[in-house]
Amino acid sequence: MPAFSRFTPLVASLPSTVPFVGPEAIERQTGIALKARIGANENGFGPAPSVIETIGRAALETWKYADPENFELKQALAAHLGCKAENVAVGEGVDSLLGLIVRMVVDPGTPVVNSFGGYPTFNYHVAGFGGRLVTAPYEDDRENPAALLDAIRRENAPLVYFANPDNPMGSWRSAAEVEAFARALPETTLLVLDEAYIETAPEGTAPAIASLIDLPNVIRTRTFSKAYGLAGARIGYAIGAPETIKAFDKIRNHFGMTRISIAAALAALEDQAYLATVIDNIRASRERIGTIARANGFQPLPSATNFVTIDCGRDGDYARAIVNGLGARGVFIRMPGVAPLNRCIRVSAGPDADMAAFEEALPEVLKTL
């Protein structure tokens, strides 16, 4: 007799897992305190001092719920972006917004398109709502809009995910290519254009906000987790046509945002001078990571993000051995999950001390291999 389950057949069929191994888990498993936390694409340079001061003041009011309409933050984002508040939705990080978007579109069996090896949290949500993932391969370590479009048409898929710049490879497409892809989609296909790393990308990477705002089948997602240094505060936002953005109010957690997070985001938006300094620091760190990679016989890939993906020239087993070896020496990094991308390792930009720890440990690991 089968065991009784209180859960739906879908939930009962899913594995109970955490998609990412966090640095805290590595410390628990190894008993080694990390010297360099450069694997999760966090911003080790941290938020602006003005933001830290604001967080301290906001903590005094943390007994209050946040405004369930997120009115002030939406107004500030609209002014920053050059659109209207009705074009903006706020949520608990991009990951939360991705889950809501998938929930809007996906029924059990619905085909959903992503690049093979692309951001796994989106795939996690697709599985969680019973969708059927359809993948298209990368082309020269970049997401391939033509291959994605072929898969959409072949499967009649109502949802596609495209990250620009891309995680895990750090690559990017031009604004013109992205806009052409968006406008080539069937009206029945919703595009999630994930721009989590857009602040660190070269000029000409992001389509102008006005260029896509008229398309009801495009949702752009952005975050305060990367360049603004607020990953632990969980602040993401979506940009789109009003009729599309309004759908978030049907299913979102209206009290999901915290007062401290909202205050931090408002202060971060105001301090664009600090943001410019951090972006310069990230660029310098990317250059140093590239120098370290080349000194050890590896090839750094071009990056528009706050990390550098490094081609180790062999296979996934070799790259995994490097990741594990660095972890055993207190240096936390990650790697792409599938071939051929998993020939690489991925190193987040960070302060000089983190870079020095990586520079010292990498050749030691390679000697053991």
- Name the pTM for this structure: 0.96
Please tell me whether residues 210 and 296 are part of one structural domain: no
Domain-located, residue 3? no
Which three-class secondary structure state does DSSP give residue 121?
helix
Asked which of 270, 297, 315 is the last residue of a domain, the reply is 270
pLDDT at 5: 77
Q: Which residues of the chain have pLDDT under 70?
A: 1-4
Please tell me whether residues 136 and 171 are part of one structural domain: yes
Please tell me whether residues 65 and 121 are part of one structural domain: yes
Asked which of 219, 245, 270 is the last residue of a domain, the reply is 270
CATH number for the domain that contains residue 283: 3.90.1150.10
Q: For the sheet containing 344-348, what is the strand order?
A: 299-300, 307-311, 344-348
d(CA 359, CA 42): 19
- Could you tell me the residue range of the domain that residue 83 belongs to? 49-270
pLDDT at 308: 98
pLDDT at 197: 98
Instruction: Provide the β-strand partners of residue 332.
Output: 37
pLDDT at 21: 84
CATH number for the domain that contains residue 243: 3.40.640.10
Asked which of 219, 253, 270 is the last residue of a domain, the reply is 270
pLDDT at 1: 43
Domain-located, residue 364? yes
Taking alpha carbons only, the member of 200, 248, 231, 208 closest to residue 44 is: 231
Please tell me whether residues 231 and 279 are part of one structural domain: no
Domain-located, residue 320? yes
Domain-located, residue 9? no
**How many domains are there within the chain?**
2
